[in-house]
Every structure is written in structure tokens, then in C-alpha cells.
Amino acid sequence: MKKILENTIILESLTSLFSQAPVGLAILMGENLVIENANQQVLDFWQKGNEIIGLPLLEALPEIATQEFPTILNEVFETGVAFKGSKVKALLEKDGVLGARYFDFIYAPVYSGDKIIGVSIVATEVTDQVLGEKKLHESELRFKELMEISDYSVAIFKGEDLYIEFANDQMIKSWGKTRAVVGQKLEEAIPELEGQPFFQILRNIFQTGEPYIATEDKVDLVVDGILQQFYYSISYRPLRNADGEIYAILNMGLNVTELVESRQKAQNAVKEYRDLAESMPQIVWTTDKEGVFVNFNENMLKFLNIEKDEMPNFDFSKILSPEDFVQLKRVWAKAEEEKSKFELELRFLDINIGEYIWFLNKATPVFDEDRTIKKWIGTSTNINDFKILAAQKDTFLGIASHELKTPLTSLKLYAQVLERMLRKTGDEKNAEFAKKMDVQIIKLTSLIGDLLDVTKINSGKIYLNEIQFDFEKLVIDTVEEQQLSTDFKIEIHTEQGGMVFADRDRVSQVITNFISNAIKYSPNTEHVIVRVESVENDVQFSVQDFGIGIPEDKKDKVFEQYYRVSGDEQTTFPGLGLGLFISAQIVERSKGKIWVNSILGKGSSFCFSLPVVE
């Protein structure tokens, strides 16, 4: 009786332990693996109730018939050798749907004496752990895939010995190595880093946990068998495990060598530009798009007699001649509108001597990608001595021209008298010589007239006797006079141009100059075309020739003083280069406009317009 009571107590204890165990426990008996006992943990795993107790395993769990578990259980039952499974996937039914779950388990034989009578099951579900590991693994794979296609060089150094656990192709290429370096210590894989600061930086991160970031670290690496210098934007960041301990370092880098070298070249270029600017005798400057000075050489500070920090607040209107200041604003605004360079002579007050000094100012716009002006680069050259010499020259030319006019008038009279006397005596040959002498005197008188006009213009003393007259009639009269003195055919097309208010003789001088130039610069043609047209509120005059033409870069210079268009032989086209300069001055002072259109080798059209008056 006592023995039975002891066995009952033991059985009850085992049953209590079986039901309260934190793992799944089950006993399968006999060859059919009948479920003798199963605690709630196992029933929950199987998604079954107590009704399966006493049923064969395959009858209770038909979904496992095609899985590996019946085979393993039978082998344990037959051989007596226990089986241990880790993270094994099982497809178990839940709400009529098979789902994958993962288990750690042990199948062990149950003996009665020496005979195997069943199999015990001890199981723990590890589905969450396995799925977590899978997600982690997938994340690592995605990370590595992303790092492989990244433009950055990426590597992971594991442990304080800095084993290369991962390196993408970009990093391998930047090191100048092969994939054989993965798994090696960094100092063995890239020995040329010895003596550079990177090993110590990486080990410090393991000690301090502080990341290291640098935008332009210099690195010496052996690439293509040559030790070369590179610049990298580098990031070293610690990687921590679940316990917060640093186990590796993530290295990301971007090769910025070209960027650094380009910047260094730009800095050298800026230094060379500044050295060049300082060595020049001119004042060299740049402004922003609004015309505010940004850079300038020492010559500007010397002329203004100020310090560099005073420059931003300096008022240039106080030292610029008032009329020149108005002209500068007009010319600069026009250049800004047309996005073109400009050139202008201006007078600045030299504070050191209290006098105005002439400067030749040139400025060129600099554009951004959208063809918008972002700044101006310019120079200012002291031309005061030149202007003084030019004034002295003009004075001399004026005096000389006046002095020459009197004897030339006498010579012209003598030539005409001599021609008439010779013709009366029948000496036609010598009479022709006298006539040619008279023609040359007329040309010389015309040249002297041009010189006198220039001196008057430069001194501001040219006088315009302005009246109201019919522009079309003046053109017709002038063309008729010109046609008498040339074999060229002057073809004329006119329309009623209207009345203009200007100096009639001076305008006729401009028309004559245009026609004479057209004939002079058309050595291989025999006609020119004159047109008078009404254009809005202006009357427009033009002379079209079919001569040598003017290069595109020279068109703006033809109205400058002493400039002469050259052909293959410059001596073919005589003259002082004053006619167009004088014409431009007359037209502009008459509130008109003057310009030229030309194609090299095909001819030119010289044009001017004057406003029509009621």
C-alpha cells in the first residue's frame, strides 16, 4: 500500500512538472506514435486541443505527413538515437491555413527496460527569432547591394585589429587592390597607410565612440604600382551591437581629388591674376552686376588716396566730372542692355593735385550660364599726357591749316589763271598740267578743311548753322554734284523724306563723304546705290557699295578719328581717316544716328538718320 502511494505521488509530481514546463513536452507511444501525453505548450504549437490525446500523430496532424518529422521520429523509435533540430521550419495548420513556423527540438527514445516503447518530444518555438534573423540578413544584403552600387567608397572594419569585413568595388578600386584584401587586416592589406594618421584615428573611435568626419583628407595610396596623392571626403562611424558595444567601423569616402586640384588651380589663377593686376600700370577693377566695386589693385587706392576698408563707401560721383558722370551712366546702361563691352574717356578729380585727370575706361561683362551679367571686369588708364599732347597737336594743326589756306588759295588762283592763259595760246598740253595742278590743290584744300573741322570738334568749337530744309531735295542736289565729278553710276532711290532741322551744308558734307568713300572703297565695281527712306519719325539716308567691305570686329572703329579701312594694299585708298569721324560728329550733334552694315568682300552700307520736324 505504501509503495502504491509513493508511485501515485511521483506520478502526480511528474504530471504537474509536465504541464507547467516552459517548453513543449509530448510523449508518443508505440510504432504508430500515439499521443500519450502533451502539455499545453505543444498543443498550442500544434493549434490543437486535448481531443487529440490518444490519437496517432499523423491522424492528429495530417499536415505533417509529407514533411520530414514522421521519418525522423520513426528513425529515433527504431534506432534509439536521439535527434536534435535547430530552427527547423514546420508547416502547421492554423484556421485552415498552413503557415511556416520554426522550432528547436529534441526527439529522444522512451524505454521500458531495454525495449523502446515510444519517443519523447521537447520543443521550443523560435519563429520570432528566425524571422528577426532573416530580416536582419535581408537588411544586410540590401545594405551591401546599396553599398555596391553607391558612388561612395564603402568598407567595414571589424574589431580593433581592423579586419576588412566588407569593401565595395569603389573602395577596392580606390585602394588600388583586389578583392583578396577582404578578410585581411587593414594594415596588412594597405601597408602604405603606415605613417599616415588613419590607423590611430580608427583605433581612437573604438576607445571613444566618437565618429570622425573630414571633407578633404590627403591620402597616399599605391595605385597602378605608383604611390600617388589623393584627396577624400571621409566618414568613420562606429557600429554597435545590441548591447551598445562597438564591434566595427563603417568607412564611407568620396574621391574629391579633382575638385581639390581644380580649386587649387583656381586659387593659383586668382593669385596670378592679382599679381598681374598689381604689376600693371593701369587701374584694374571688377564690379558686381550693379556696378559696385568688388576687386581692385593698389593703383586705385593710390589714386583715390584712401585705405582699402574705405573703398565700399567711397562716392565716385564726387570726383567724376558732372557731365562725364551723366555720360557714364548712359553708356553703362546701354552696354548692360545690349550685353556688350564699352569704352569711354572720363575725367576724374585727382585729389592729390586738385585737377581733373583724363582716364580711358574699358569694361567687359562676364555672364553666367543664363547669359545674365554677373560682373564687370575693367581697366582705367591714365591718358592725361596723351590728351594734353593731342590738344597741342590740334592747336598746331589748326594754326598750320589756317596758315596753309592763304597760300593754297593763291596757288589755286594762279593755277586757274595759268590754265586759261595756256589755252589762249593753244598750249593744250601744258594747260592740262595746270588743270591737274588745280585738282590736286582742291584735294589738298579738302584735307586741310578736314583737319580744321577735327580741331574744331575736339575743342568743342564746331558751329552748326541749323535751319529747316527738305532733306530729299538736298540729297538729289548733292548726288547731282557728285555725279559730275565721277565716272561711277550713282543710282538713287528716294521717297518723300520730310523736313529736318540741321546745318544744311554740314549734312551735305556727310552725304558727300559717304558717296566719296563708297566710290573709293569699290575698286572693282562701277556703281553705288543711294536711298532715302522714311522710318517712323526719322528720315534715313544710306549709301550701298559693292566693294571690299569691313571685318565684323572693325565695324565699330570706322567712325573713330584717323581710322582707315585697309584692303590688300593700304596705299590704294588715300586719306587721313577723318571723314567718317567728322560725319559722325555732325550727325550726333544734329540729334541723329549713324551706323554701318557690312560683309567682308561683298560691300558696305553706310547709313544715318535725322529726326523729321513739322
Per-residue pLDDT reduced to its tens digit, 440-472:
766 666 666 665 565 655 555 566 778 899 999
Q: What is the pLDDT of residue 169?
A: 85
Which region holds residue 354: left if phi is over 0, alpha if psi is between -120 and 50, else beta?
left
Cell digits of residue 353: 593735385
Calculate mean pLDDT across residues 294-319. Answer: 86
- The mean pLDDT value for 30-53 works out to 89
Is there a contact between 579 and 593 (Cβ–Cβ < 8 Å)? no
Check residue 10 and give its pLDDT: 39
Average predicted confidence (pLDDT) for the chain: 82
How confident is the model over 460-503, as pLDDT tens digits?
556 677 889 999 999 999 999 888 878 889 999 988 778 999 98
Nearest to 450 by CA among 512, 378, 495, 492: 512
Q: Alpha-carbon distance 532 to 542, whole Å? A: 7
> Cell match 592589406: residue?
189
Q: Give me the sign of the Cα torsion angle 138, 141, 145, 147.
A: positive
Structure-model confidence comparison of residues 411 and 573, the more confident one: 411
- Within 10 angstroms of residue 131's Cβ, the number of other Cβ atoms is 13
Residue entry with cell 585708298: 573
Please check whether residue 299 is in contact with residue 311, taking contact to mean a CB–CB distance below 8 angstroms: no
| Dist CA 185 CA 188 (whole Å) | 5
| Whether pLDDT at 367 is above 60 | yes
Distance, in Å, from the CA atom of 17 to the CA atom of 328, rounded to the nearest integer, reads 106
pLDDT of residue 14: 44
- How would residue 6 be classed by pLDDT, with cut points 50, 70 and 90? very low
Over range 528-534, report the average pLDDT: 92
Percentage, residues of the chain above pLDDT 90: 24
| pLDDT > 70: percent of the chain | 84
Q: Is the pLDDT of residue 75 over 90?
A: yes
Rounded distance between C-alpha atoms, residue 29 and residue 57, angstroms: 10
Residue 152 CA to residue 147 CA, distance in Å, equals 8
**Mean pLDDT of the 547-561 span:** 80
Q: How far apart are CA 265 and CA 259, in angstroms?
A: 10
pLDDT digits (tens, 9 = 90+) for 78-123: 999 999 999 899 988 877 788 888 999 999 999 988 899 999 999 9
The answer to whether 394 and 455 are in contact (CB under 8 A) is yes
Of 600, 602, 594, the C-alpha closest to 511 is 594
What is the Cα–Cα distance from 34 to 77, expressed in whole angstroms?
Answer: 12
Closest CA to 258 of 224, 216, 227: 216
Q: Distance of CA 35 to CAs 28, 55, 118, 202, 585, Å? A: 5, 6, 10, 60, 122
> Contact 35/118 with Cβ under 8 angstroms?
no
Q: Give burial (CB, 10 Å; 0-12/13-18/19+) of 100.
A: exposed
Q: How confident is the model at residue 415 (pLDDT cuts 50, 70, 90)?
A: confident
Domains detected in the chain = 2-126 (3.30.450.20), 150-260 (3.30.450.20), 280-382 (3.30.450.20), 387-458 (1.10.287), 466-613 (3.30.565.10)
Q: How confident is the model at residue 242 (pLDDT cuts 50, 70, 90)?
A: confident
Helix (H) or strand (E) holding 378: strand 373-382
Q: What are phi and psi of 553, to 5 degrees?
A: -80, 0
